[in-house]
Amino acid sequence: MDSKKLTLSSGAPYYEHQDSQTVGPRGPVLLQDFILQENLAHFVRERIPERIVHAKGSGAYGTFTVTHDISNYTKAKLFSKVGNSCRMFARFSTVGGEKGSADTARDPRGFALKFYTEDGNWDLVGNNTPVFFIKDAKKFPDFIHTQKRVPKTNLKSATMMWDFWSLNPESLHQVLILMSDRGTPHGYRHMHGFGSHTFSMINDKNERVWVKFHFKTKQGIKNFTDSEAVKMAGENPDFAQEDLCNAIENGDFPKWTMYIQVMTEDQARDFRWNPFDVTKVWFHEDFPMIEVGEMELNEVPVNYFAHVEQSTFSPSNLINGISFSPDKMLQGRLFSYPDAHRYRVGVNSHQLEVNRCPFAVNNYQRDGFMADSSQYQDKPNYHPNSFDDIKADISYKNYEYELDSAHVASYNRNENDDDHYTQPGLLYSKAMSPEDRQNLVNNIVGSMRAINGPKKDEIINRQLCHFFRANIELGMKVASQLNVIIDPNMMNHSK
């Protein structure tokens, strides 16, 4: 059968569908990569008005308090001294399900936080997992399509899920987490949260370090087994929402301890893996957890739609002293998240109560749908001008830095960075208990048994190869329960 050329919506053929154009293999993504922009911009406009991902969610207001000094790492005013605190808003969610789906489904959980600080709103938009399925945002629309519904039947499909995962071994780390009992947390209060991406902190000496954010639940980890999660989905599809609201209304305020891991620029250059790869973790023994503060949720919003449904989060909402990194997934999200909100809620969604900075907002943005002029009234809408008193403060000037390369290309995201198996193997052999490992195997097998169609054996065997390469025992157990006869060549590849 003759193949068809991959094209843009204009019909122009192109080749680079999976790797974003960057400055050097670890450099930032370029705005001129119009293929990335077209794919992301089209993707976030595929549904209205429901969120494309994270549609089923719960939210609450609370307080964040700094308990330990990290001012040597960041000049952010929030972290300038122990005891500082700010109001905050948190939204938890499943990823793939629609708004009316069960919130106990096997899925990663969104863990989105908005800190209302005197230097503006800071959004930390992460998950309950420290890693993700893919490492380049160019692949995100394709990945999410596999988690949604088949265009013809409008049904979920294990076949397209495992087909995509088997063709993208970088997903293995997150797949093992998803298929473990961590994929079905017992509500939102009993799970950890992670910024997932690598971010940066800059101190008052203009020194930069790389950081990862962790939020450890003080309620203790608690998960459903697969059968318990399925049962609860039928009995109460709003279990997590009810659990969160009831706890807060009863005064049992859920809390999380915030930690950071810190990596210097020299350590980043010598790190075994790309430190900006969101499919990898930093080992705690190499980069210890540093305690920072405590988050407490203590207020159920008075109106779900106004506060939870209309809440918007973006990793581009950063504050002075906290910045981004060359993480390709993060760089894509800096564009796609605010673009999604401008489309879904409106260009003035930042003026809504839940999204509004409670401190000063002074700029020259005007008009658009649902514009509220109470902030700017008749002030000039251009800069510079002779009439207002808005001045740019040089102390907030961006951190300046040199790049490692000036060579522009769509670098293969896996070239010299294709170890997709060491960390998943350690997750299975070191981090999981025997019970965790058995539940993982059972969950994988239960899901993979639903693969069907003419490519069934090809998909199963391809995914088994990934399991073997991570851990032979894992591969053997899954293969055995799927009644797959092991090819000796598969065993050779697993060494």
DSSP 68-99: S--TTT---GGGSSTT-EEEEEEEEEESSS-T
Burial of 382 by CB count in 10 Å (0-12 exposed, 13-18 middle, 19+ buried)? exposed
Catalytic-labelled residue, pool 54, 173, 190, 197: 54
Half-sphere exposure of 464 (CA within 13 A, CB side): 27
Q: Residues 74, 201: contact at Cβ < 8 Å?
A: yes
Alpha helices in 104-157 (DSSP H): 140-147
Cα–Cα dist 88/320, whole Å: 17
pLDDT computed for residue 335 by the predictor:
92
pTM exceeds cut of 0.85: yes
Burial of 87 by CB count in 10 Å (0-12 exposed, 13-18 middle, 19+ buried)? middle
Q: Residues 165, 177: contact at Cβ < 8 Å?
A: no
**Size of the chain, expressed as the number of residues it contains:** 495
Nearest to 68 by CA among 349, 363, 288: 288
Three-class DSSP category at 143: helix
Catalytic-labelled residue, pool 127, 168, 274, 471: 127
Distant-in-sequence, close-in-space partners of 420: CB < 8 Å, separation ≥ 6: 169, 170, 172, 173, 279, 414, 466, 469
- Residue 337 annotated as lining a ligand binding site: yes
Q: Residues 175, 165: contact at Cβ < 8 Å?
A: yes
Q: Which residue type sits at 360? A: A
344-349's contacts with Cβ under 8 Å and 24+ in sequence apart are 344/44, 344/48, 344/49, 344/51, 345/310, 345/312, 346/370, 348/372, 349/310, 349/312
**Angle (nearest 5°) at CA 471 between 469 and 474:** 115
Cα–Cα dist 128/111, whole Å: 6
Q: Residues 240, 188: contact at Cβ < 8 Å?
A: yes
pLDDT computed for residue 493 by the predictor:
42
109-136 burial code (b ≥16 CB/10 A, e <16): bbbbbbbbbebbbbbbbbbbbbbbbbbb
pLDDT computed for residue 236 by the predictor:
98
Taking the CA atoms of the chain, what radius of gyration do you get in angstroms? 23
pLDDT computed for residue 48 by the predictor:
56
pLDDT computed for residue 235 by the predictor:
98
Tens of pLDDT along the chain (495 residues) come to 678 787 777 777 788 888 999 999 998 999 889 888 888 888 887 765 788 899 999 999 999 999 999 999 999 999 999 999 999 999 999 999 999 999 999 999 999 999 999 999 999 999 999 999 999 999 999 999 999 999 999 999 999 999 999 999 999 999 999 999 999 999 999 999 999 999 999 999 999 999 999 999 999 999 999 999 999 999 999 999 999 999 999 999 999 999 999 999 999 999 999 999 999 999 999 999 999 999 999 999 999 999 999 999 999 999 999 999 999 999 999 999 999 999 999 989 999 999 999 988 888 888 888 888 888 889 898 888 999 888 888 888 888 888 888 898 999 999 989 999 999 999 999 999 999 999 999 999 999 999 999 999 999 999 999 999 999 999 999 999 999 987 656 554 443
- Look-up of token digits 């069960």: 102
C-beta neighbour count of 3 within 10 angstroms: 5
Cα–Cα dist 174/278, whole Å: 10
Q: Domains plus CATH for the chain?
A: 1-46 (4.10.91.20), 57-137+182-351 (2.40.180.10), 421-490 (no CATH)
pLDDT computed for residue 495 by the predictor:
34
C-beta neighbour count of 429 within 10 angstroms: 13
For the question of residue 127 being annotated catalytic, the response is yes
For the question of residue 128 being annotated catalytic, the response is no
